[in-house]
Structure formats: C-alpha cells, structure tokens
Amino acid sequence: MSGVGDAVVMAARGWIGTPYLHQTSVRGAGCDCLGLLRGVWREVMGAEPEPAPAYSRDWSEPQGEERLWQAARRHLRGRSGPPAPGDVLLFRMRAGAVAKHLGLQARVGAGASFIHSYSGHGVIESPLSTPWARRIVARFAFPEEIT
C-alpha cells in the first residue's frame, strides 16, 4: 500500500458503524457514500476541494448526467492497472443508469473488500464479490500529496 492508500483505508475503517444518512458526512453520526468519501478526504487531505451541492437520491438520473464521475475526474487521479488499497471505486448500480455509488478499496486479491455507506447498512466493509465487481465503471486514487 502506498502512504496515501494506507491513510485512506485507515481513515475509512474509522467510519465503519456510522449510520447511513442521505447527504451527510459526520463520522459516527451519519453519512451516505459520497459523505464517506468527503469525510475520508477531510481526514487524509484537509479541506474539501469544492462544496458538495444539494442532491436527491435520484440526482443526475433524469438528465443522464455523470455528475459523480465528472467530480471524481476533477479531484482524483484516474487509475489503471491492478487494484490498490485506497482506490476510489465508482459503481453503476444497474445497466444504463448513471454511476452513483462510491466505495473505497480496502483489501485486494482473493479476499478483496471495499468500504462504503449503503442504505439500510451504514458504513460497512463488504467483500468485493463478483456482483459488486462487475458494477465498477471507474477507479480513481486520491492525490499523492497528503496535507
């Protein structure tokens, strides 16, 4: 794991058990998948690079806009090659829908896992099983410099 990857996974694991709460980002109190990423960013990188806009549960779907993907491109590094701990995973939950779920790769290899905030579950570390893995449409990494 890289220094940033280690820090991302360590910070994300500190959020496990936080309840799911749409459009929030407070460790221990509540967050959604974007809120988890925002909270980990604050812990690892410092201030958030831009304020998160208000969003509904179906945000960007009616317009078919990949807003989450666009934001990831603005602030994260694109990743290719083998998965690495700390990677930001972007998921498309159903074919033809916009990508709107995020997770953070925790373990790689045979016991691969990711940390995410999921409605009805809160922040959990889940196996990166085949059904989850096939929904990944992009991988990103945090910037290399920790503030």
The pLDDT assigned to 65 comes to 80
**Domain residue spans in the chain?**
3-49+71-141
Per-residue confidence (pLDDT) for residue 132, from 0 to 100: 97
Provide the pLDDT for residue 1.
45
pLDDT value for 2 = 64
Mean pLDDT by 10 residues, the chain (147 residues): 86 98 96 97 94 73 78 93 96 89 96 96 97 96 78
Task: Supply the pLDDT for residue 53.
Answer: 81
| pLDDT at 58 (0 to 100) | 67
Q: Does domain 3-49+71-141 have CATH number 3.90.1720.10?
A: yes
Write the DSSP symbol of residue 109: G
pLDDT of residue 145: 67
Classify 56 in phi/psi space as left (phi over 0), alpha (psi -120 to 50) or beta: beta
| Cα–Cα–Cα angle for 19, 3, 44, rounded to 5 degrees | 40
Dihedral angle of Cα 55, 61, 67, 68, to the nearest 10 degrees? 80
